Amino acid sequence: MLRPGTAGRVFVAALASAGLVSGILAGGALAVAPQIQADDDFFSAATYTMDQGDKPTLLNNGVNLHNATAKLNGPDGMVLFESATVGNGVTTPAEGAQYLTVGSYAFLCTIHPLSMQAALQVSSAGTPVRRPSIDVTAAKGKVAKVAKKGKLPVTVRALTDSDKITLTLKLGMSKIGSQPEFNLAAGQQRKLSVKLTKAGKKQLRKKSKATVKVIGDVRFGASDTAKANLK
Ligand SMILES: [Cu+2]
């Protein structure tokens, strides 16, 4: 007689030998992230199906360069998902697809947009990965001190895993500083001194008080803004 659980283990082992076990462990479903295949110049299917939370890959079987790029934009104003542009024999992930919820999402190859169009069908199975999400805060301070140092203290906290975070400082309509790309893991917080431009420092020096707008952008997520009230 089989002990409880044995049947399940035998079942998993059988599927593991068939190469399906990663799909089971990820979401309890049998689906495996699809591989979008490109040739010169067409995609191998009109529709590719995947579970929520999966990330398809693109394999280029052709000689020409190809990519898989969503037609629609996401919450950051950039494409919902995209692969790198790759040459023959290269497999590359379609980044951003792991955040998609149920639906059909058209994509194309930006190099051959007329002949290379297809759709990514996301099923109701699985769970989407939580989109990158950041919280930006800026402290009050002295305008003279910020102008002299040329740096504005800003704190960024990541609510979920957030890659490619950038910060922009604005005084009215003009950009007066920025912070190059950085990454934060979920729950991680980073205190930064965002550098002002020469022109930005000059503008601030003329003021007795100023409100600097801090815009935090993150790839595949919504932006967050904060205001630094300087006196
Ligand atoms: Cu192409």
CA–centroid distance, 174 to ligand 1, in Å, is: 39
Query: Tell me, what's the pLDDT at 33?
Result: 86
Q: Is residue 12 a part of any domain in this protein?
A: no
103 near 70, Cβ under 8 Å?
A: no
Pairing of strands 134-138, 224-230: unpaired
Query: Residue 179: which residues within 8 A CB-CB, separation 6 or more?
Result: 154, 166, 167, 168, 192, 194, 195
Q: Kindly state whether residues 118 and 187 are assigned to the same domain.
A: no
pLDDT in tens, 166-215: 999 999 999 999 999 999 999 999 999 999 999 999 999 999 999 999 99
Tell me which residues have their CB within 5 A of the ion that is ligand 1.
Answer: 66, 109, 111-112, 116
Residues 158 and 87 in one domain: no
Residue type, 23: G
Domains: count for the chain? 2
Domain boundary among 94, 126, 158: 126
For residue 146, is pLDDT > 60?
Answer: yes
Residue of 1, 4, 29, 33 whose CA lies nearest to 15 = 29
Residue at a domain's end among 126, 152, 181: 126
Q: Give pLDDT tens digits for 13-51.
A: 333 344 444 444 444 445 578 999 999 999 999 999 999
Q: How many whole angstroms from 152 Cα to the centroid of ligand 1?
A: 44
Query: What distance in angstroms lies between residue 121's CA and the mean position of ligand 1's atoms?
Result: 20
How far apart are the CA of 191 and the centre of ligand 1, in A? Answer: 42
b/e for 39-71, b at 16 or more Cβ within 10 A?
eebbbeeeebbbbbbbbbbbbbebeebbbbbbe
4 Cα to the center of ligand 1, angstroms:
52
Residues 114 and 140 both lie in one domain: no
65: DSSP letter: -
For 51-56, what is the mean pLDDT?
96
| 158, 132 contact by CB (below 8 A) | yes
pLDDT band, very low/low/confident/very high, at 83 (cuts 50, 70, 90): very high
